Amino acid sequence: MILLWSIVSASLVVALVAWSLARRTAKRVTQLSEMYWELRYQQGELRARMQRMSGDVPPAAPEAPAAGPIGESFVPLSSLRR
């Protein structure tokens, strides 16, 4: 009987340690993810600043084609049967 309680106690301790490590790892992943996206944002800002300073302006993106007249839209026949 003592053997069973010692096994249960040991497994409880191991589970608590694993749970605390998982929480710590989750916090670290969240922190690294925030740092990654902040760095990407700063890199974009620096790239734009460098392009402005050097005079290299990227070509403007073409405008989206105009949509059809208001009131016209595609309705599939399968939706009309319902």
Q: Which two tokens stand for residue 53?
A: 């300073």
The whole-model pTM stands at 0.53
The tokens for 9 are 């106690």
Average pLDDT over residues 70-75: 72
Q: What number is the average pLDDT over the span 25-52?
A: 95
Residue type, 68: G
For residue 57, is pLDDT > 80? no
Angle at 17 between CA 11 and CA 22, to 5 degrees: 120
Its sign, for the CA torsion 43, 46, 47, 48, is positive
Residues 58 and 51 sit within 8 Å (Cβ to Cβ): yes
